[in-house]
Structure 1
């Protein structure tokens, strides 16, 4: 699977016309929002309410069945009490529209969706207290539990065997390691992949399967002040585009890794996130044993794939490298501390 997806570059004028044509709304304000390889806009129409317009890159837009399942999943978790966005129907009653337009690459087809606006700020902007991290872990587990009840004719499309960001596919990174030539971290990444093959893949048959959100990160979780606790509560779950068939332990590892990125004491993050997750889904022994390596594996995926994406899209370097800048230091720190030391912090004895 290639990562070369040209990010759409629609102008605000084009976006305004699109919103009028498809949804019968007249934007009074349009703001660009950050995105990895799609294009997102905040839209406030004169008719009221606030929305997010998502325009997918032309490559991912070809897979309408996958996007349909992801859009359904957002609505399903929302119906089951979690704060996710939902898609607004077009004038013709569709939850997404395939639009053929030119935004600088010639005429191509782009999937367009208008989503309800989730209030709050990204969790990256607030202090990550143990209480909030506990809630993040709990939310990750609840979300995967809800996914398990989901029924859809195209659910099997989430298998995604070649998906580079799946924690089942860490060995795929070997094809991209040359992007780290000359970087001392390349040696650590190679070692992590080796340990993944010998210690994780051999135990995978004992992991419990589920559907993963797959990208429960510091920019995809929104929070608002919580008057009752004086802290913050989760007010939005964003971006279901990395959903894939995986395992509960994958969701936990991904969540811990991204929460570490924003924390002054990254190693400490694992304990409250794990406790929150286990309050819903307790881990079995093999899952516990592999958690450390799976967290390291996600750091490796993030680092290698971001560096590779920069070679394709140097103009988007600032956004692409957000996670990797801190991630490099944390990966090194975790590797040097080692599994045993880190697990002493994460797995608190109940005695």
Structure 2
């Protein structure tokens, strides 16, 4: 089945009924929230609580083990003092329930979870000051350090060999390059994939392994005003892209997405890197591959957004969010080149560390 037919299409009345049946709560307000492959709803109840109801697509719903690991990760981070959502059990005590529904493609099964609602707005909506960027880098590193200590019987499900969003799987992008036919960007993407094979793969044995959140982006990090007229991180969302990876992957992903919402993308590197290294200093191999891994994430994002639009043209605006600026930033980084970009990132990070 294509992902186009796997995405759930529950109505608000069906959501209301589900909240009532599974959780014995009355939905006073229901609002749809944006999502890539799943369906998310904000739910406020007459009993006074605020939640997010997450309905997974029917393809991912066939693998409940990985959802159990993601659910455990959120809870584990929460227990260790990080602002992650936790799952509300059903009346029968289940954290995840399987619901059957016909969304227009015959009867399908969908995994459903009710998550606590975290206050705040996405980091994409506030000024990314050097201080906030530093805190973002630091939070991403702390998150991975905690996740590495997590235990779960199904951890092996995170070894996602064919997962297109893992930075370990960059060569898989070659299968999708046709969506860039006729676009000059295609040559840049091809060159990045080639350089990944020759420059990153041979060094990977020197990277520090961990579990990656895998999508620490500007829409998955929430902030709230702090007491100094700035902002502090109040939430980490969406664990659907978790995979077995490396610390340096999480840093590259964090860097890339913060660049897409900053007026001076290259300037993001220093503060994020300084925040990250305050928790997890990089070794030489990791430093040497950071620039290229950031480019790889841009390539993943741009190629898969174009591909997804061919499947879900009606969702094009959401799917192309990162692409709008991403194309320009990728070309800018490519033109500046590894040496110049790294020099700016690492010198800026060193200065930041002296403050």
Are the counterparts in 1 of residues 167 and 249 from structure 2 also a CA contact under 8 Å?
yes
Q: In the alignment, what sits opposite 1:98?
A: 98
Give distance in 1, aligned partners of 2:5 and 2:163.
14
| Other structure's SS at 1:35 match | coil
Are the counterparts in 1 of residues 5 and 105 from structure 2 also a CA contact under 8 Å?
no
Q: In the alignment, what sits opposite 2:127?
A: 127
Q: Is the aligned partner of 1:77 residue 2:77?
A: yes
Give distance in 2, aligned partners of 1:92 and 1:265.
51
Shift of 1:344: 1.4
Give distance in 1, aligned partners of 2:6 and 2:178.
22
Deviations 1:178-225 (A, max 9, x none): 000011100100000111111000100000000000000000000000
Q: In the alignment, what sits opposite 1:184?
A: 184
Write the mapping of 1:1-351 to structure 2, written as runs, cut at 5 A: 4=4, 6-227=6-227, 229-348=228-347, 349=350
Give distance in 2, aligned partners of 1:140 and 1:2.
32
Give distance in 1, aligned partners of 2:5 and 2:219.
21
Are the counterparts in 2 of residues 5 and 37 from structure 1 also a CA contact under 8 Å?
no
Are the counterparts in 2 of residues 158 and 243 from structure 1 also a CA contact under 8 Å?
yes
Shift of 1:3: 5.1
Shift of 1:5: 5.5
Give distance in 1, aligned partners of 2:201 and 2:296.
12
Supply the RMSD in Å over aligned alpha carbons. 1.2
Shift of 1:326: 0.7
Deviations 1:33-71 (A, max 9, x none): 000010000000101110000000111111100000000
Are the counterparts in 1 of residues 3 and 59 from structure 2 also a CA contact under 8 Å?
no
Give distance in 1, aligned partners of 2:4 and 2:55.
16
Go from structure 1 to structure 2 and tell me whether the alpha carbon gap of 1:256 and 1:220 turns closer, same or farther (over 3 Å shift). Answer: same
Shift of 1:73: 0.4
Give distance in 2, aligned partners of 1:140 and 1:334.
23
Comparing 340-349 with 161-170, which one deviates more in the overlay?
340-349
Deviations 1:233-255 (A, max 9, x none): 00000000000000000000000
Give distance in 2, aligned partners of 1:224 and 1:90.
30
User: Which runs of 5 or more residues in structure 1 are unaligned?
Assistant: none
Are the counterparts in 1 of residues 302 and 326 from structure 2 also a CA contact under 8 Å?
yes
Are the counterparts in 2 of residues 5 and 59 from structure 1 also a CA contact under 8 Å?
no
TM-score, length-scaled by structure 2: 0.97
Shift of 1:230: 1.6
Give distance in 1, aligned partners of 2:324 and 2:280.
32
Report the count of equivalent residues: 350
Deviations 1:52-94 (A, max 9, x none): 0000011111110000000000000000000000000001000
Deviations 1:107-164 (A, max 9, x none): 1100000000000000000000000000000000000000111011111111111110
| Other structure's SS at 1:201 match | helix
Give distance in 2, aligned partners of 1:31 and 1:295.
34
Give distance in 2, aligned partners of 1:250 and 1:26.
42
